Amino acid sequence: MAYRRTPTKAQIRRERMEELVTYPVDWLEERSGLVGGIRYFLFRKVPGDVNWMQTLGSAALTAFIVQAITGVILAMYYRPTPTEAYPSIVNITDHLTLGWLVRGMHRWGASVFIILMFLHMGRVFLFGAYKYPRELNWIVGVLILVTGMLEGFTGYLLPWDQTAYWATVVGINLNGTAPFLGPFIAQFLRSGQEIGGDTLTRFYSMHMMLIPGAIIALIGFHLYLVVRLGVTSPPWSPEAAGAEVEEEEPQALRPGLTRPVPRGIAAAQAEPGGSE
């Protein structure tokens, strides 16, 4: 039997402290598998030469989360009626503690969200990350962009000042000029023939419930596809993207899925339809 030093008091205390932390985590893990799931989701293999451009998607997601949280808090103080909407906005901005900050975060964060989505879209386009097998994720991303802009359109009315009101009148009438269905879309958005109190509550409901629900579902699907298909390596990467298999294995897979498409000299050397 190997000699073993009796643990010092400090060591024992340290072990106890560690147990105190690990026990609840283990308890949770044993019953839910959450820790493993989160590890699977977050600690993924990515190509070694990814760059900062590939954080734009996460940045857009962060912007959306900021919008969601600040929006929920603003809803605690905002009143969506024609007589009370603007006074409640003034109250949030001028009187409530930190109201100016949270409203400002929501107001400017809206633009940040849209801008980051466009930058992310540009990165995906320039890296060719929309190509097989990620075409569907591009489509889902475009839908997120559209729903995000719908959020902008519906949220713009809520301050219920002159800019908000007339911009929404113009926006609704723009929709009305769409051929064939336009007049009906406009009347649905307006909640009748004339813009009024129902328009405000309708936009509030869409801005608060309907469209965020759609965006969250779309983002969930977007992330699912990212996790499933892995991160694309940059176009100049010699490395296999998200390679979890050995170099010999992926011969069966199509180039671009887990190994880079041969380019330049590599493409010239690669024999088309070459043997294994």
Q: Which of 169, 214, 225, 226 binds other proteins (CB under 8 A)?
A: 169
Q: Could you tell me the smallest distance in angstroms from the CB atom of residue 207 to other proteins?
A: 15
Stretch that binds other proteins, among 19-27, 68-76, 96-104, 172-180 (CB under 8 A): 172-180
Q: Could you tell me the smallest distance in angstroms from the CB atom of residue 180 to other proteins?
A: 7
Per CB under 8 A, does 82 bind other proteins?
Answer: yes
Task: Indicate the residue among 179 and 273 with the shorter CB distance to other proteins.
Answer: 179
* Interacting positions 179-208 with other proteins (CB under 8 A): 179-180, 182-184, 186-188, 190-197
Task: Indicate the residue among 65 and 209 with the shorter CB distance to other proteins.
Answer: 209
By CB neighbour count within 10 A (0-12 exposed, 13-18 middle, 19+ buried), where does 74 fall? buried
Size of the site for other proteins (CB under 8 A): 26
Q: Could you tell me the smallest distance in angstroms from the CB atom of residue 43 to other proteins?
A: 38
Per CB under 8 A, does 84 bind other proteins?
Answer: no
Q: Could you tell me the smallest distance in angstroms from the CB atom of residue 203 to other proteins?
A: 13
Quick one: how far is CA 258 from the chain centroid? 24
- Give the separation between CA 188 and CA 69, rounded to whole angstroms: 28
Task: Indicate the residue among 55 and 163 with the shorter CB distance to other proteins.
Answer: 163
Q: Could you tell me the smallest distance in angstroms from the CB atom of residue 117 to other proteins?
A: 26
SS (H, E, C) the chain: CCCCCCCCHHHHHHHHHHHHHHHHHHHHHHHHCHHHHHHHHHCCCCCCCCCHHHHHHHHHHHHHHHHHHHHHHHHCCCCCCCCCHHHHHHHHHHCCCCHHHHHHHHHHHHHHHHHHHHHHHHHHHHCCCCCCCCHHHHHHHHHHHHHHHHHHHHHHHCCCCHHHHHHHHHHHHHHHCCCCCHHHHHHHHHCCCCCCHHHHHHHHHHHHHHHHHHHHHHHHHHHHHHHHHCCCCCCCCCCCCCCCCCCCHHHHCCCCCCCCCCCHHHHHHCCCCCCC
Task: Indicate the residue among 28 and 174 with the shorter CB distance to other proteins.
Answer: 174
Q: Could you tell me the smallest distance in angstroms from the CB atom of residue 170 to other proteins?
A: 4
Per CB under 8 A, does 132 bind other proteins?
Answer: no
Q: Which of 97, 177, 251, 275 binds other proteins (CB under 8 A)?
A: 177
Binding site for other proteins (CB under 8 A): 82-83, 166, 169-170, 172-174, 176-177, 179-180, 182-184, 186-188, 190-197
